[in-house]
Amino acid sequence: MASELETLYEQVSKVRSGAAADEKTAALFEAGREKIAKKVVEESAEVSLAYIQGNDEDLVSETADLFYNLVVLLADRGIPLSRVWEEMSMRRDALGIAGKLPKANREGSRD
C-alpha cells in the first residue's frame, strides 16, 4: 500500500515540477489550492456515501480517488509522504492503533 502511494507521489511530484505530463494532475495544480482542497472534501464525501450505502465497489473506487487527491494536496505543499508515515508511527507508539491525538475543546480541556 505505502509503495503504491509513494509511486503515485513521485509521479504527481514530477507533474508538479514539469518533468512529466498528466493533463488531469497538471490542471489541478494550475487551478490552485482552493480547487485541490475542494477535491479532497468532495472525494471524502463520496467515500462516506459509498460506505453508508454499503457499496463496496464504489467505496474502493472513491477511496482510490481520495488517496490521489490527498497526494496531490501534499505534493502541492511539498510535504513528503514520509512525514505522514512518521506522524502515524509516533501516534501509534504513543496512543496505540487509533493513533488520534485529542483536540482541545472550547474550555481548553482535551477530548
How much of the chain is helix, strand and coil, in % rounded to 5? 75, 0, 25
pLDDT of residue 93: 86
- Cα Dmax for the chain: 49
pLDDT tens digits, residue range 32-49? 999 999 999 999 999 999
At 92 the pLDDT is: 86
Predicted confidence (pLDDT) per residue in 59-79, tens digit: 999 999 999 999 999 999 999
Q: Map out the domains of the chain with their CATH numbers.
A: 2-95 (1.10.287.1080)
pLDDT grade for 101, boundaries at 50, 70 and 90: low
Give residue 111's pLDDT. 46
